[in-house]
Structure 1
């Protein structure tokens, strides 16, 4: 395994680092101030639209998509250090480069499984950043960590599907530019294979019977930049049968194909969040005195910083190994490694952020520094895309299988 950056990665890293310094970090406070002046908190703030145009002009656009026909054509190993850089400002950088979830996963689904008409109608405007999208799988009334539990019905009625169900924490759904939902439900609820009962259909937001009921908060945050998280009701919403993605019964497999890249992208960005936390810790430690000496001279603070550096270096190597394996043996071949990083990365980064917050005291939990919001995002990823315990269960079974 060789994790050295190739020439193209080095070039994009240099451009992206300069873009972050010149545009993204200064925009964090500007965006916060502009949002207070909007008629709706879900509208895109002007500075974000300006940065989207600049990122596209610089070629820092759709970097996540390995398909050269639609995206930058980067491997997972090439994209990893770029996603890490964007993770240092996770609310703005992924959005302005068109590399933000859930749109990334939805674009990957459409590129891989959509037909030509679906690509023309929905993928092309998503790639251009003209619209946003949402992925509707999680439900409040069942344990959605087991996707076979979902209860949303997708029933065929002639040339139409009728969708009935209740979803929540549907990321992106509050954004006014969210025009399309990818909805997972059951087309064959009594089928003998529980992993062939589900299908995915495209449901335009303006479909009669679709109601975006309310915004869901995450530790009190509404995550405006990613279009929020909503509770959505589907009450006999009708769409043409041509809106089916792939084949009936293929929904579970499509979901797994979508979540693999999504999980590693989250982990890549989490490492960037940890690096931002370490930088903030060091700046605070050398600029503040307590009990007669700088915080940087306090042994406990030195231990926090040293432990954080060791942990980040370990995580980065594990994520790069996973990216390399996905590139060489495919997502299925890298299943164990994907689970390992999904378990290790969020919990480790949460610990680093927790100590950074402690170092900042009251400032750490305030809106004046990014730490509290970073913490909320990192802690959520111990649940999103499959809770830690589900991945631990699966990973343990794989290990035990070797001895049976």
Structure 2
């Protein structure tokens, strides 16, 4: 039986999962890859830290050169996260003719071209299945299974933390703050949850999916991003009343020759398959011009699901079942599709406003909407008569730019306390 030695950069949550899988499924991996996989060295910050798993101490090192310059190590697995120093470590590994597997969505979304070009120039494999949606094989699906299709759109729930929070708010009547605290206690959210709840994590993943699916380079600055921190229980209730579920969704689609890319909360029909994706699960809904509609569903995060994707990439390299040059993302950048400005996006909208409870105010606001080409589907005012009233508008399909102009006029009207929330309504079929 052939043997191969790998090096691992990082032993956090994902690294722990990789170690468990390599040991628990050792015999299955041997049969499927044709190799005995030996871990040569694991880079950690502190070799004395208790990680709750049984790793021989002699495998641990605080010196990256023990991994990057060891000629016996043929594959480097980067699961540290972040851009620095992960980028430098990967580039050094590539220069040393080592194949690379990574789960680093931030690095790929921001510095991917340089890494893929380096890997192509050195003739080494660069695999990254675990960078999007954990254990869901979405990268392989796009790179291999769907290559006969022109992908028309992708709509996904690709952040488990926000999906868990919104699930708790929807079905357990929790506030955002209470749901976030529970997510942190269960390990679904970091102590600093900003990347998840503000939509950055989903934005990085959408950049990767957009580049692969539409064959163009993506600047993350061209992706509209909005998090879930403004979602209140009252918004959840109004959504339910109208047959919708609120999810943080990532969308990419080609419209009039340009790419529309956005991450934001949205009301989606409760009958749509994405509406039933709950807790920390992820799902990606793809529409291809040949295959039609399909959805991939599974655990989007966690040590074992993400570790599974990492180990699968290692096996793919060992089996040589995929041509190295064919999978490089550089070769997916054969088009130059421009981003579509967010103001050109069309959607229906839910708008919740606190206004002075005076005669004529609702008429004034409705007039402003009409002047900017926003057609109102329904308007509701609930609650006791007080100084300020909460008013909710549901609109017909309109341009984002028209909504923006109307909101600016409404704010300046003198009768508005605040715009409490604006949520897009995606009536996906």
Higher RCO, Cα 8 Å, sep 6+:
2
Name the structure where helix makes up a greater proportion of residues: 1
Name the structure where strand makes up a greater proportion of residues: 2
TM range (shorter): under 0.3
Larger radius of gyration: 2
TM-score (norm 2): 0.24
TM-score (norm 1): 0.25
